[in-house]
Amino acid sequence: MSRSERLLQLLQLLRGHRYPISGAELANQLNISLRTLYRDIRSLQAQGAIIEGEAGLGYVLREGFVLPPLMFSAQEIEALVLGARWVAERADAQLAEAATQAMSKISAVVTPELRYRLDESPLLVGPSDNHSFCQPQVLDIRRAIEAECKLVIQYQDQQGQQTERTIWPFAIGFFDNVRLVVGWCELRNDSRNFRVDRIASLKVTDIRYPRRRQTLLNDWYRQKNIPRK
């Protein structure tokens, strides 16, 4: 393991603990000596990491330190490339443009070796002939989710019956061939999934729904027994 990789792993270990973790435990997990650990902590502090604590008491990383992109590993860079390419091919125009801009920013600061990985990654995303997820509705839905505002939709179910629903959208599921809006349905008084390609029309209201988006999402995770990642 290179020193830069070790420093990155040390930061990740510290980020995973809200309370002080002993130097002995950190050194054991990194398979290094305490002397090397203390030197690495001083290096991170010199780079701007707010690491509080001292030998015998433990260490904790305070919020606010941004990891330089140049410390990404080669595989992490390729994972970012693959994700950005998927978004560019499968998401709406705004997200596609954001993915391209993000990769340009990373390319401007990484080392030449990692820049080569960015430009020449062999991990490709195939084209898709399903463009339902590129409909203008997706942008409106994302805007409603961000603002935590109610949506009024004309929705056609699997049997072809159309109903008007007022929903509290709190997530969008990105599948290969379909996009699902997850929201609280006032008609059903429960959480429901709505296929974007079955929404005939929608209106973003300026009415805030009464519960926070994250609360609705957390309740949905628990209801579906889906582990958080």
Co-location of 103 and 151 in the same domain? no
pLDDT, mean over the chain: 86
Q: Is residue 68 situated within a structural domain?
A: no
Question: What length is written for the chain?
Answer: 229
Boundaries of domain holding 113:
74-120
Distances (CA, A) of 42 to 10, 48, 52: 12, 10, 11
Q: Is residue 195 situated within a structural domain?
A: yes
Q: Is residue 142 situated within a structural domain?
A: yes
Q: What is the mean pLDDT of residues 174-181?
A: 87
Per-residue pLDDT at 129 exceeds 80: no
The burial class, CB within 10 Å (0-12 / 13-18 / 19+), for 214 is exposed
In CATH, what number is assigned to the domain containing residue 208? 2.30.30.520
Which of the listed residues 22, 37, 61 is the one where a domain comes to its end? 61
Q: Is residue 66 situated within a structural domain?
A: no
Co-location of 78 and 137 in the same domain? no
In CATH, what number is assigned to the domain containing residue 46? 1.10.10.10
Co-location of 178 and 208 in the same domain? yes
Q: Is residue 67 situated within a structural domain?
A: no
Give the range among 11-15, 22-26, 111-115, 162-166 with minimum mean pLDDT: 111-115
Q: Is residue 9 situated within a structural domain?
A: yes
